[in-house]
């Protein structure tokens, strides 16, 4: 009984002593590094990402879009994050990524997410501001700190391998002036601008270079941490440059999806006669972990 109570006390101590996401981002910005953000669709990907962060001893943000939450479960992914904190003492945070409905935003906040990105990038600037202001108000009323991220400029909406740049993506890059207006009128904590970044990968060719001077100008204008979306396939040099100029969080999803799918296919082929799922899922988890390890080293200057 004493041992059990001690375990509960230690778990609670880790949970309540863990830095908030705001503090973690501020610490990263002070050190000119960034917090890695990786999306999940199931517990295998979650376990692989958390294992990579634990191995390096760095914080990590788990992202789940409305579609990913629908498949995985909004409360289920939140429970896994709580377990990683309470049982393992890890700095794992949870973000509702690319949330496009008010209902989805509220569900994530109510489930205990640490942050919500309300993505109104395809809306008019006026409607985008209106939706994000509503998100900020709901987050503030939650009774705990929930960071709100807004997105300006369309960079595509799908983490896929594209034959060409998605129509309209990257054409309306964010300006310092528009970013300043957006931040002032919404009160967001984080800003995801369009700076040459595009969601997904391009088949058979490199992605466009990031506009590093634009990143620096926007960062100086808004004075809040920024978020780099669509980092899959970006060069390490561009990612380093973006972090140095104001990006406090870097998102990766497509590279994880590709590694996971390819490893599952290999595992199924190599274990064609075996029906035990872990025989072909363990290599897939390891593949995801290796991608995350590589990215976290880049983001954290390791």
Query: What does the H/E/C string look like for the chain?
Result: CHHHHHHHHHHHHHHHHCCCHHHHHHHHHHCCCCEEEEECCCHHHHHHHHHHHHHHCCCEEEEECHHHHHHHCHHHHHHHHHHHHHHHCCCEEEEEEEECCHHHHHHHHHHCCCEEEECCCCCCHHHHHHHHHHHHHHHHCCCCCCEEEEEECCCCCCCCEECCCCCCCCCCCCCHHHHHHHHHHHCCCEEEECCCCCCCEECCCCCCCCCHHHHHHHHHHHCCCEEECCCCCCCHHHHHHHHHCCEEEEEECHHHHHHHHHHHHHHHHHCCCCCCHHHHHHHHHHHHHHHHHHHHHHHCCC
Bridge partners of 92, per DSSP, are: 60
Look at residues 45, 79, 39 and name the one whose alpha carbon lies nearest to residue 61: 39
Active site residues: 97
CA-based nearest residue to 291, from 255, 264, 250: 255
The structure tokens 């409305």 sit at 66
Please tell me the distance from the alpha carbon of residue 123 to that of residue 110, in angstroms, as a whole number: 25
């Amino acid at each position: 009984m004493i041992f059990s109570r001690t375990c509960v006390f230690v778990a609670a101590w880790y949970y309540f002593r863990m830095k908030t996401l705001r503090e973690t981002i501020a610490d990263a910005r002070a050190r000119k590094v960034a917090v890695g953000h990786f999306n999940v669709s199931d517990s295998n990907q979650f376990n692989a990402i958390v294992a990579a962060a634990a191995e390096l001893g760095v914080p990590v943000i788990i992202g789940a879009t409305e579609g990913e939450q629908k498949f995985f479960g909004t409360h289920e992914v939140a429970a896994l994050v709580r377990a990683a904190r309470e049982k393992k003492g890890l700095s794992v945070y949870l973000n509702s990524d690319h949330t496009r409905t008010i209902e989805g935003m509220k569900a994530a906040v109510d489930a205990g997410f640490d942050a919500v990105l309300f993505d109104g990038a395809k809306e008019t600037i006026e409607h985008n501001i209106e939706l994000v202001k509503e998100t900020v108000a709901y987050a503030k009323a939650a009774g705990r700190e929930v960071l709100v991220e807004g997105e300006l400029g369309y960079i595509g909406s799908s983490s896929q391998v594209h034959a060409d740049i998605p129509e309209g993506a990257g054409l309306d890059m964010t300006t310092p002036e528009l970013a300043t207006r957006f931040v002032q009128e919404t009160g967001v904590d984080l800003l995801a601008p369009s700076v040459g970044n595009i969601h997904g990968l391009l088949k058979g060719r490199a992605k466009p270079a990031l506009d590093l001077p634009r990143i620096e100008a926007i960062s100086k204008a808004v004075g809040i941490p920024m978020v780099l979306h669509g980092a899959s396939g970006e060069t390490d040099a561009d990612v380093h440059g973006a972090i140095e100029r104001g990006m406090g969080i870097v998102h990766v999803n497509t590279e994880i999806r590709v590694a996971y799918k390819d490893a599952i296919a290999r595992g199924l082929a190599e274990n064609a006669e075996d029906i035990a799922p872990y025989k072909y899922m363990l290599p897939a988890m390891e593949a995801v972990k290796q991608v995350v390890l590589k990215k976290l080293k880049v983001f954290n200057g390791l």
